[in-house]
Each structure stands twice: as C-alpha cells, then as structure tokens.
Amino acid sequence: MSPDNPEVIFTCGYGYINNAYRIQTSYTTDNGTTWIRDTIMDSIARVNACIFDPFVPNRILLGGDSIYNYKLLLVSTDLGNTWEHTGNGLSGIVYSLAASVRTPGLMYAGTSQGFYRSTDGGASWNRTGTFTMVRSVVIDPANDSLIYAGTSTGIFRTSDGGATWVQDNEGLEVTDILTLAFRGSAPRMIFAGTNGGGVYVTTPPTGIGEVQSGAAFRPAKLQVLPNPVRGEFQVFVDGDAGELVQGAIYDPSGRLVHTLTPQIAGSGRVHWLVNMRGCGKGVYFLRVQARTGEVTGRVVLTD
C-alpha cells in the first residue's frame, strides 16, 4: 500500500510464461475497485519482495532472482510503468525488503547471502552480519536502528542499524523462520512465522518510541499554510504537551534541505515560520518528530 495514498495498492508475483518465469504485477488506484495488470516480458526472473519508497511518491522496488544475474532488484519511479535494474553490492536471491519511515533513503534487504543495508534508496548496498538465508526483515517504525532478521537458523536482532547483532531465539521451538511482522503501536510485539512450527510472539526491548515518563507529545495534525507557496510558509503541529519536538524538510531525492528549530510543545501546539526561497520549485516532504511519535506532510513550492 502506498504511504502517500491508501487507495494505491501494488502487488507482484511471477508466472511461467513462454517457457520461462516472468514477473507479473498488478496495481489499483481506487482501493481495489479496478486493477491494472502487467507482465514484464523482458524479465526472465522471479520476484519475492515489493516495497514502496516512503519518501518518493510512486517509487517501488522489487526484489527476487534472475536466471541471468542471480540477484534481482528492480526500481520504478512511475508506479510500475517502467523499470530499471539497480542494487550495486547486493548479492543472492532477494527474499525481503524493508524501508525506514523515519530516514529517507535508508533500506534493508534480506537475501540468501545475508543482510544488506542501503542509505541511497537501494542504489548501493553493504553487507552486515555473518548469517545467511535472510527471509524476512522488519524495522521498528519508531526507531530504525532496531531491526530483526528472520533466517533459516533463527532470529537476529540489532539495535545499532546493523553494526552489531545478537541472536534472539529464546522461546522458539522451531528456528527456521519464514516471516516476521512488527506491531509498532501499543502493545508493541514481534510476530514470527516458522516452517511447520506455528507462530511465535515476543515483546521488543524498550526503545525511543515508547512512553517512559512524564507527559507525552503525540503528533496528531500537521498544517502547512499557505500550500502551495512561493517561498515562506508556516507549519503547525497539534498534540499533547510536554515534549521536545523537532522537524526537517527533504527534497524528493531524500536530501535534507531545511532543519526546523527544536521546540518544547508547552501548549499543545508547535509553530514554525519557514523560508525556503531559492530552494527551487517542486514537492518537498516534512517530518516532525518527538520521542513518542511523528507526523509527515508535504509542501509545494511554486517558485
């Protein structure tokens, strides 16, 4: 499902067509009322994973394996109308893809060869960890340094973005992991689907996304006025009082273009006056964060 529009849903799979496996896709822009189907005929490949880029509208990544290249990672910036190969440094059959909703360009991949990290939206990748056969990857939506990798030998966890890992198999009677799911809202949970052993659940460690003490600021509503705008505009965010709130503005490539001065949400509303004259016209993305949540929005510059 598109993070920009819940009525836009993209699905993928593969079929055996003309004596070869071909990638097949379907998408809807009206919440499933009508669908547009396509077969990527020049792709002799299978696809296992599909994600939207949370910061670039209509940008989609597909991961799988190719008869010619083994590793397969395709990217589209137009909702699947055209595709390009990407993934420098990535190796093995791609089983899982995950994108941070907090940091533009930050993505993770699980492959038959291991766990990989990208900071440029999937263009280039670096391996971290020594385990292989990573079938599923999930990210804490409140803290993108907390990641779980489900493998054929169990679950591995990192709290520093992949720099170090620990095995987290306590309570698992079957360690052949097929899929993982992260519930970010309270009560926070990790679900693990195993090969023949059922589903297990655990509670993730306390992180920056959990309420620990005092009053909490929970971003509830973001307003940008005026919008569209020529250069100067105001940003309003409503929420509960008592937290340090900070924000940033990014261009469509994920590059930071403006930092909003941190403020204390003393009265339940935070306000910024922003001047982006000279940044160039186009769509920009806002992200306002507090310890217990975040809210995102867009602003359109016309000059």
Lateral strand order in the sheet of 177-183 = 177-183, 189-194, 199-202
Tell me the CA distances in angstroms from 67 to 23, 46, 95, 172, 205, one per residue in order.
12, 9, 15, 35, 41
> Phi and psi dihedrals of 18, rounded to 5?
55, 45
pLDDT (tens, 9 = 90+) of the chain, 303 residues, equals 898 888 999 999 998 888 888 999 999 999 999 999 988 876 788 999 999 999 999 999 999 998 766 889 999 999 999 999 999 999 999 999 999 998 999 999 999 999 999 999 999 999 999 999 999 999 998 889 899 999 999 999 998 999 999 999 988 989 999 999 998 876 778 999 999 988 998 888 753 333 233 334 455 578 899 988 988 999 998 766 677 788 889 887 677 899 998 888 777 788 999 999 988 888 888 888 876 667 778 888 987
Q: How far apart are CA 27 and CA 18, in angstroms?
A: 23
The CATH architecture one would assign to domain 221-301 is Sandwich (2.60)
Is 149:131 a contact under the CB 8 Å cutoff?
yes
Name the E strands within 18-153. 20-28, 36-52, 60-66, 70-76, 84-85, 94-99, 107-111, 114-118, 126-128, 134-140, 143-151
Q: Per the confidence metrics, is the pTM higher than 0.75?
A: no
Range 9-202 classified under CATH 2.40.240.10: no
Domain boundaries, the chain: 9-202, 221-301
pLDDT value for 207: 39
> Can 9-202 and 221-301 be said to share one CATH topology?
no
Burial class for 90, CB neighbours closer than 10 Å (0-12, 13-18, 19+): buried
Element (H, E) at 103: none
* Contact present, 88 and 73 (Cβ < 8 Å): no
8 A C-beta contact, residue 77 and residue 56: yes
pLDDT of residue 235: 93
Contact between residue 200 and residue 194 where contact means Cβ atoms under 8 Å apart: yes
pLDDT of the residue at 216: 43
